Amino acid sequence: MKKIVVALGGNALELENTKPSAEAQIEAAKKAAFCIVDIIEKGNTVIIVHGNGPQVGRILIQNEFAAKETPSMPFDVCGSMTQGMIGYHIQQTIQNELKKRGINKSVVTVVTQMVVDKNDDGFKNPTKPVGIYYTEDEAIVLQKEKNWVVKEDAGRGYRRVVASPNPIEIVELSSIDNLVKAGQIVICCGGGGIPVITNDNGDLEGVAAVIDKDKAAALTAKELNADELLILTAVDKVSINFRKPDQKDLDNITVEEAKVYIKEGHFAPGSMLPKIEAAMDFAESKAGRTSLIGSLDKAADAILGKNGTKISL
């Protein structure tokens, strides 16, 4: 049996063509829970890291529209809010699915802080757009009043941009590890973790940033000495020449082969590329570790080697 870190995208908790309500997110979480419990049912230890892109975006919109009535929450606080909300939905639906199958296990969500380097290059040139669109005049005011970095976004208006620094330390790691060793199913590092820095006093301090969920999952897998990192996405397998007549689906590739494919430009930035990079990071961190990239629907098959793309040394 294996210890597996599962990276679940925030979009996996959204139903297509459905208003993104809490009720709809619960329905989407039920599907994810069914697939994850398939893996647990086979005796594997599972740790879940989830994304939060769509969800934190909506919280930021709510912030803006309610700003005249109640103070807006800082960006790191919005991230923590999504950890609680999404964690609640995932843990409840997994608990219900475990009960249906007669599996006696507990599920817990850990609100997780992720340390980033305050000198990370990402802070020097923030590029990750968040929140709503503004006019140029509004953008100028926000830059002055809130000290935000606001940039024009593809001719559609101006948006706030924040840094996307690399995760370097999981603050609650020992608690997560103890829960895993106690047989708990742990949901942690939601949205990549709440970004924090160590300030000049040596204290932790939240910052406005977006941590890549897959990078956070790779770090979690390494720190917990997992056997496998399973990154779930919208496709069954990684492909080269994606959506071209000569598209080729990949079953098994080495880290070195993945590096060649990256140089050839096969993986889109902001889409498949960060998943490949996270998979490579984990696979090459220690002999015997493997990464898998595949679809949620066929997650259990990926673990059995029947689907997905396997990346190893």
Total residue count of the chain as it appears in this document = 313
Catalytically annotated residues: 10-11, 128, 213, 275
Cβ atoms within 10 A of the Cβ of 84, count? 12
Q: What is the 3-state secondary structure (H, E, C) of 23-68?
A: HHHHHHHHHHHHHHHHHHHCCCEEEEEECCHHHHHHHHHHHHHCCC
Helical residues (DSSP H) of the chain, grouped into ranges: 22-41, 53-65, 75-100, 121-124, 136-145, 173-181, 213-223, 255-263, 272-283, 299-303
Contacts with 96 (C-beta within 8 Å, 6 or more apart), sequence order: 30, 33
Q: Is residue 234 helix, strand or coil? A: coil
Give CA–CA dist 137/135, Å, rounded.
5
Give CA–CA dist 311/253, Å, rounded.
5
Q: Is residue 293 helix, strand or coil? A: strand
Give CA–CA dist 227/291, Å, rounded.
9
Residues linked to residue 204 through DSSP beta bridges, in sequence order: 198
Q: What is the 3-state secondary structure (H, E, C) of 139-173?
A: HHHHHHHCCCEEEECCCCCEEEEEECCCEEEECCH
Fill in the DSSP letter of residue 117. Answer: -
Backbone angles phi, psi at 109, to 5 degrees: -105, 130
